[in-house]
């Protein structure tokens, strides 16, 4: 039995049907006896929609309030996924970032995770529940809601995996792994079975958004077993490796 942290990006939870597919996948894995923590992003397009709404009222929305607003995208998805899980008989609970004490600094819009209290999550797992956590968000020491920057749900997933000492962190997205370059731009790009954390960091720093750069830094620091896979097709995706393991 393993403890697995899975993260599903916006496209993977972009409609009720897709959320249901994710729920079925999660329930199947739990049925095999694994402990599961599932991090979700906002449904695709939702974060942009919320930014547009704020900008319709203020060309430079106050950063604190923008974070309060943007955090609702992920809050919607955790509730929907948990509802879908309960519907198919899989006990689950949803939590916002601040509810599972993802403590960050107070740099609104680009906050850094300082600390996570894993106790609450472990308690739920012990009760046999799947724990569904909102990606991309936390709270500062005064309880103000913060967000982690675009693509920040990747970092939530990796940070939770590090804090929980998970056996694997699986990042489910709309491509079946890491390619030599963006496969949507360069059709000849090749999928890699493995990539070192250093190479991945370089790719992220050159602007590839497949993983948020901070999630790669985090993974390297804590040697989090990390894999990028497709939520739409079977396959073993791409494993991120660390020098010592090679």
Minimum gap (Å) between residue 240 Cβ and ligand ADP: 12
**Maximum alpha-carbon separation in the chain:** 52
For residue 122, what are the contacts with CB-CB under 8 A and spacing of at least 6? 164
Closest C-alpha to 11, from 46, 43, 49 = 43
Minimum gap (Å) between residue 147 Cβ and ligand ASP: 8
Residues 21-80 close enough to bind ligand ASP by CB under 6 A? 41-42, 47, 73
Q: Which residue is nearest to ligand ADP (CB)?
A: 9
- By CB under 6 A, tell whether 178 contacts ligand ADP: yes
- By CB under 5 A, tell whether 151 contacts Mg ion: yes
Q: How many beta carbons lie within 10 A of that of residue 112, not counting itself? A: 16
Closest C-alpha to 170, from 118, 214, 229, 220 = 229
- By CB under 6 A, tell whether 183 contacts ligand ADP: yes
Selected binder of ligand ASP within 10, 157, 177, 225 (CB under 6 A): 10
Selected binder of ligand ASP within 14, 152, 157, 225 (CB under 6 A): 152
Pick the closer one to ligand ADP by CB: 26 or 178.
Answer: 178
For residue 16, what are the contacts with CB-CB under 8 A and spacing of at least 6? 80, 84
Measured between alpha carbons, how far is 114 from 140 in angstroms, rounded to an integer?
9
Residues 9-28 close enough to bind Mg ion by CB under 5 A? 9
What x/- string results for residues 107 through 146 when contact with ligand ASP is judged by CB under 6 A?
Answer: ----------------------------xx----------
Pairing of strands 226-230, 168-173: parallel
**To 10 degrees, the CA torsion angle through 173, 178, 182, 187?**
-100
DSSP letter string, 79-117: HHHHHHHHHTT--EEEE-TGGGTEEE-S-TTS--EEEE-
Minimum gap (Å) between residue 9 Cβ and Mg ion: 5
> Which range binds Mg ion by CB under 5 A, 8-16, 79-87, 163-171, 183-191?
8-16
Provide the 8-state DSSP code for 42. Answer: P
Minimum gap (Å) between residue 228 Cβ and Mg ion: 10
- By CB under 6 A, tell whether 11 contacts ligand ADP: yes
Selected binder of ligand ADP within 208, 217, 230, 232 (CB under 6 A): 208
For residue 85, what are the contacts with CB-CB under 8 A and spacing of at least 6? 23, 26, 27, 91, 92, 130, 132
Residues that bind ligand ADP (CB under 6 A): 9-12, 41, 151, 173-175, 178-179, 181-184, 203, 208-210
Residues that bind ligand ASP (CB under 6 A): 9-10, 41-42, 47, 73, 135-136, 150-153
Residues that bind Mg ion (CB under 5 A): 9, 151
């Amino acid at each position: 039995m393993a403890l697995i942290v899975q993260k599903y990006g916006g496209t993977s939870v972009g409609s009720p049907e897709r959320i249901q597919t994710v729920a079925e996948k999660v329930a199947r894995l739990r049925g095999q006896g694994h402990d599961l923590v599932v991090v979700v992003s906002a449904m695709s397009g939702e974060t942009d929609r919320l930014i547009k709404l704020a900008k319709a009222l203020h060309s430079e929305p106050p950063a604190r309030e923008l974070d309060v607003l943007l955090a609702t995208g992920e809050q919607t998805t955790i509730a929907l996924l948990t509802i879908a899980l309960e519907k198919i008989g899989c006990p689950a609970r949803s939590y916002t970032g601040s509810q599972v004490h993802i403590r960050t600094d107070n740099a609104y819009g680009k906050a850094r995770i300082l600390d996570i209290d894993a106790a609450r999550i472990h308690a739920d797992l012990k009760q046999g529940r799947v724990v569904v956590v909102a990606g991309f968000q936390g709270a500062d020491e005064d309880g103000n809601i913060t967000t982690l920057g675009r693509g920040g749900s990747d970092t939530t997933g990796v940070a939770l995996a590090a804090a929980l000492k998970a056996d694997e962190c699986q990042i489910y997205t709309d491509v079946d792994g890491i390619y030599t370059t963006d496969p949507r731009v360069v059709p000849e790009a090749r999928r890699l079975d493995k990539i070192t954390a250093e190479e991945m960091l370089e790719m992220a720093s050159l602007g590839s958004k497949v993983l948020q750069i901070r999630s790669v830094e985090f993974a390297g620091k804590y040697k989090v077993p990390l894999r990028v896979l497709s939520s739409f097709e079977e396959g073993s995706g791409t494993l991120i490796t660390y020098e010592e393991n090679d």
